[in-house]
Structure 1
Amino acid sequence: MRILVVNVNTTETMTHGIGLQAQKVAAPGTEIVALTPRFGAESVEGNFESYLAAVGVMDAVMRYDQPFDAVIQAGYGEHGREGLQELLEVPVVDITEAAASTAMFLGHKYSVVTTLDRAVPMIEDRLKLAGLDARCASVRASGMAVLELETQPERAVEAIVEQAAAAVEQDHAEVICLGCGGMAELEAKVRERTGVPVVDGVASAVTIAEALVRMGLKTSKVRTYAPPRPKRITGFPLPSA
């Protein structure tokens, strides 16, 4: 089984970290291929960058020329999953939805701890669109930019742990979701401080994608995610589907 894990930003070190996290939880025999878009922002922290990333991710997937069994969109609260589902028959799993759905097996309410406050509405909208918002206690911002997870790791860890603890103590969350693909290595520290299960979206998405592939399930094509209708598209960077 081969799973494409696509970073939504163009920072190669973050793609590498996401790929390592995915391979760590993958079952024996699952090959993880981590992809970086050819174009886009070095970090995705707003709607403009997110819409740009959606095209960059589709481009990266459609240019990959080897067989694959599933795709993971490794960006929290980002746009574009629906476009990938129109283009592909294989399962497409978004890490936001994967983390939240996993969290609901582990506790009554979950909270998401993310990066900047401006990302909070985007995550809330993605959870609402997916029907996962009813059991979300809160979406909290750590105040740390995405790239600061790499450049200021100690400060980032403290800020994330602090908000996770507040979500448990003040918002009555029973599970914490790490709201950024770049937070993959923080589960143990957050769990130690809060005493609750901590869910990483990349790890969740890999296990869900593997299960869908093993069950022989593919994306439904009868209506919502039917292939795009053939037509002339001027100047669009994607190769032909």
Structure 2
Amino acid sequence: MLIKIINPNTTLSMTAKMTDCARAVASADTRILGVSPAMGPASIESYYDEALAVPGLLEEIISGEDEGCDAYVIACFGDPGLYAAREVANGPVIGIAEAAMHYASLIAPSFSVVTTLQRTCGMAWHLAERYGMERFCRNVRACELAVLELEDPHSDARRIITDECRRALDEDGAEAIVLGCAGMADLCSAISDDIKAPVIEGVTAAVKLAESLLTLKLQTAKRGDYARPLPKLYSGILQNFGAR
């Protein structure tokens, strides 16, 4: 099976890191294709960034259908464009926040999300509500690290995130941690060892969830909400999006 990991931002070093993490957990017969769109923001830290990331993301879904991709992972904790991507794709499309929260709810009665900037905490709460995870989610906590600081070896990101995870266990009463940024994927195992509690990050969780859906031969429903978009004219820089 071929799973396409789409990092909706255009920072290729982050895409490479996510792809390595995905390949480390993928089954022997799973191929992982990691990409960033040709257009979009360098990082996603606002609703504005999310909105501008979606066209490039959807281009990668559309091209993935021609490339023979069996499933897709949207590797941004905001799960941007998730429902639109499901309208376009035949196979499963998994958002990493969706995957991580569901996995956490299976192994612990409660979890806290540890994310990057305070301004994104509301976005994570909205996702918890959307996915029916509010009753499990004790808190969403920010480290006040910008996404691109996760790529800076001098940012002390691992220590800062680990300390916030410990506070989540002690102050929120959380029994597991969900890492709220795809750029934290490579830190998951080390943080779990340090705090002696389950830590879930969404890239690897989404890969395993996609594999299980494909093994069960489950495709995206094409009736109702996820039916294919109606054909119509699109203008300006979106003119090629109407062809499908």
Normalising by the smaller structure, the TM-score range is: over 0.9
Measure the CA separation in 2 of the matches of 1:3 and 1:170: 38
Measure the CA separation in 2 of the matches of 1:96 and 1:204: 9
Work out whether 1:21 is the aligned partner of 2:21. Answer: yes
**What CA deviation, in whole Å up to 9, does each residue of 1:187-237 have, x standing for no partner?**
233223321111110010000000000101011111111111111122215
Secondary structure in 2 matching 1:3: strand
For 1:1-241, list aligned pairs within 5 A: 1-64=1-64, 65-152=66-153, 155-235=156-236, 236=238, 238-239=240-241, 240-241=243-244
Kept after mapping to 2: 8 A contact 1:58/1:238: no
Measure the CA separation in 1 of the matches of 2:4 and 2:240: 17
**What CA deviation, in whole Å up to 9, does each residue of 1:114-135 have, x standing for no partner?**
1111111111111211212221
Where do 5+ consecutive residues of structure 2 fail to align?
Answer: none
TM score, norm. by length of structure 1? 0.96
Secondary structure in 2 matching 1:52: helix
More helix per residue: 1 or 2?
Answer: 2
Instruction: Tell me by how many angstroms 1:105 deviates.
Output: 1.1
Matched residue type, 2:226? Y
Where do 5+ consecutive residues of structure 1 fail to align?
Answer: none
Kept after mapping to 2: 8 A contact 1:54/1:78: no
CA RMSD for the aligned pairs? 1.3
Kept after mapping to 1: 8 A contact 2:233/2:239: no
**What CA deviation, in whole Å up to 9, does each residue of 1:85-133 have, x standing for no partner?**
1111210000001000000111100111111111111111112112122
Secondary structure in 2 matching 1:218: coil
Measure the CA separation in 2 of the matches of 1:113 and 1:188: 15
Matched residue type, 2:228? P
TM score, norm. by length of structure 2? 0.95
